[in-house]
Structure 1
Amino acid sequence: MRFTYECCDCHSVYETNEVFYQCPKCAKDNDGKSFPKGNVIVKLNSEDLKALGSKEHVSMFDFFPYPVPTSEVYPVGGTPLAKPLRLGKKYGLANLSCKLDSALPSGSFKDRASQLIAAQAIAHKQNKIALASTGNAGAAMSCAGAAYGLEIILFVPATAPVNKLMQSVLYGATVVPVKGSYDDAFALSIAYTKKFGGINRNTAYNPMTIEGKKSISIELFEQLGRSVPDVVYVPVGDGCIYAGVYKGFYDLKQAGLIEKIPHIVCAQSKQSNAISRAWKTGDFSN
């Protein structure tokens, strides 16, 4: 599908066939200490989207900017919906469903983003993908790398628990411990890509991660008889899963397949509540 990039800050639109991460006008002001500027979103071609509105059935692949080759080697998607009747009865929710993305190949929702990053790398004839992670994202990308024969370089804080990294090691990734925080590992992974090439998978930095994560919304639309829920609760860390879920429903609406986007609720742990704190205080610097 044809697409362009739009800056979330200045709204400049970029049309390019090259790998594109951030708006160069806005990103040049980033100092690494405050909320990054210049992140971009993928805007799918409106004519291509409207053409999907006449299809009897759609899949996540119809909405992807890059084609996914031999998807059966890394079968992402098609996860079941559970109907927790007892939980629904307890809270008075007659139509409660839970999407079981633990059934994905690496056991994590992060497989959705990693599938599209692998497709991006293959489309650009790149064999190397770098990223920073403390666990699930690294495992998912390493799983995709093993499936497609891609080299994965994973930068992790040296304090990351070994048991969270073992899955990536078993999949064959090169794991690089970094003295410092996750932010330090993130910065080093970007520097690595700039110097040695390849694709950078870091969530939000590479807009294709959001495009991969939106696949869950496309699936829900079909699983629920070509309709969408009234409310969707999304577990959130830095907000990128939330953005992906929203983007999927947004694209469905742009295609004319749904009339409104569901109410999406961001749910955070008290131990990791950066978005909740920023929302309450108005301070987005941390």
Structure 2
Amino acid sequence: MLASHIHHLQCVLCGASYNPVAVEYTCPACGPSGILAVHYDYEQVAPHIGRAQLAENHEQTAWRYRALLPISYSHRTMPPLAIGGTPLYAVERLRSYLGMSDLWLKDDTRNPSASLKDRASVIAVMLAGGKTVACASTGNAASSLAVQAAAVGLPCYIFVPYDAPRAKVIQLLMCGATVFAVNGSYDDAFDLCIEACDTFGWYNRNSGYNPYLVEGKKTVGLEIAEQLAWQVPDTVLVPTGDGCILSGVYRGFEDFYLLGSAYRAWLLYRPKVLLPLCERWKGTVLYGLVKRVLLPMVSPKDCLAMEPWLSVIFVPVADLVLLSRMQRF
């Protein structure tokens, strides 16, 4: 069940607002490209979360931020696997190597499936209301959903391209998921998953389609802000597949910023969140995912005219050099 403190959903393309009870996934006017952003009633949220309350909260998982999540308080039974609360490391040797005196590394491999995607999948299995859950993926999102669904006993269906890595498919099967190998690309698997969810009433866990998954991913931003004693970093580098982690990390900082603007000084500013995307990835699954989800919201050539929190950077360099180059931004 959705939380009552969700004020409305808003389409990132046309700006139309919707009652969350009336619309489940994407904007009815814009179709699948009309990604919806979740907006909260901060007057309702404020009494339930604050610096003092967090300091006294002994919950060390992502659920310490429940007041800023789309899960209703009527949910009494929480999923058994601990999600979030992952360490933020002061990586001294890497700082020295890169010449960056204040570099930190957030280690989300501590999550149950060794991925940040668990933060989204746990939201999906809770909002599924006992339904079968499904997604299209060739990597961490699929593994994460399979693990989270198994933990709460939900049937899970995963759609993968026919040439998906064998090791990933084996991992999904080991977790009890039913895997459909689609004779086509990732886009074909994605489209078939959407159709199957609509036809059979399964709960759709696809990023860039289900608006509530970003809300789970944003808990990493909430954690970073709190772990750095509310002195947020100037820049956050986000390894990105479909663009939803990028927006999710930012959403965490934005929630604290907006909450603080209205009620108390939490964050003085929001950091810039950067998406490193190499030109040499054009034509790959990664580029296709970004094109499907992120580019409806921002065009790379227009990124400098966008809000200052978002930068899309195309650099024709190797991965190891990329990290070194990115420190200049």
Fold conserved between structures, TM > 0.5: yes
1:263 is aligned to 272
Q: Distance in 1 between matches of 2:48 and 2:231?
A: 15
Q: Is the 8 A contact 1:130 1:189 kept in 2?
A: yes
Report the residue type matching 1:60 in the other structure. Answer: Y
Whether 1:190 and 2:194 are equivalent positions in the alignment is: yes
For 1:148 and 1:272, how far apart are their aligned partners in 2? 37
Larger CA deviation: 125-134 vs 145-154: 125-134
Q: CA deviation at 1:72?
A: 5.9
**Counterpart Cα distance in 2 of 1:116 and 1:19:** 17
**How far apart, CA to CA, are the structure 1 residues paired with 2:302 and 2:235?**
25
In structure 2, list runs of 5 or more residues that go unmatched: 55-63, 261-265, 304-329
SS at match of 2:238: strand
Whether the 8 Å CA contact 2:208–2:242 is kept in 1: the answer is no
Cα separation, 1, equivalents of 2:174 and 2:183? 23
Aligned equivalent of 2:215: 211
Q: Point out the more displaced range, 89-98 or 67-76.
A: 67-76
Residue 11 (structure 2) pairs with residue 11 (structure 1): no
Contact kept? 1:126, 1:198, Cα under 8 Å: no
> 2:180: which partner in 1?
176
TM-score, with normalisation over the residues of structure 2?
0.77
Structure 2 equivalent of residue 91 of structure 1: 98
Contact 1:215 1:248 in 2 (8 A): yes
Percent identity of equivalent pairs = 38
Structure 2 residue 86 is the aligned partner of structure 1 residue 65: no
Q: 1:135: which partner in 2?
A: 139
* TM-score for both structures, normalised by structure 1: 0.88
Q: Which residue of 1 aligns with 2:234?
A: 230
Residue by residue over 1:47-95, the C-alpha shift from the partner in whole angstroms, topping out at 9 and shown as x without a partner, is 1243356451443322101146544612110111122111101222122
How far apart, CA to CA, are the structure 2 residues paired with 1:6 and 1:163?
Answer: 38
CA distance in 2, matches of 1:221, 1:260: 11
| Other-structure match for 1:76 | 83
Cα offset, 1:271, TM superposition: 4.6
Aligned equivalents of 1:144, 1:98: Cα separation in 2 = 25
Question: How has the CA–CA distance of structure 1 residues 72 and 152 changed in structure 2, closer, same or farther, with 3 Å as cutoff?
Answer: closer
1:219, distance to aligned residue in structure 2 (A) = 0.8
* C-alpha RMSD of matched pairs (Å): 2.2
Q: CA deviation at 1:126?
A: 3.2
SS in 1 for 2:29: helix
* Aligned counterparts of 2:192 and 2:238: Cα–Cα separation in 1: 29
How far the C-alpha of 1:130 sits from its partner, in A, is 1.1
SS state at 2:180 partner? strand
Distance 1:267 1:279 in 2: 11
> 1:152-171 CA distances to partner (integer Å, 9 max, x unpaired)?
10000011011122221111
Contact persistence 1:131–1:155 (CA under 8 A):
yes
SS state at 1:56 partner = helix
CA distance in 1, matches of 2:231, 2:196: 43
Structure 1 stretches (4+) deviating beyond 3 angstroms?
Answer: 49-55, 67-72, 269-278
Residue type at the aligned position of 2:269: K
Kept in 2, the 8 Å contact 1:53–1:255? The answer is no
CA distance in 2, matches of 1:112, 1:234: 15
For CA contacts below 8 A with separation 6 or more, give which structure has more relative contact order. Answer: 1
1:169-205 deviation digits (Å, cap 9, x = unpaired): 1110000100000000000001001110021000010
In structure 1, how many angstroms separate the alpha carbons of the residues matched to 2:91 and 2:135?
36
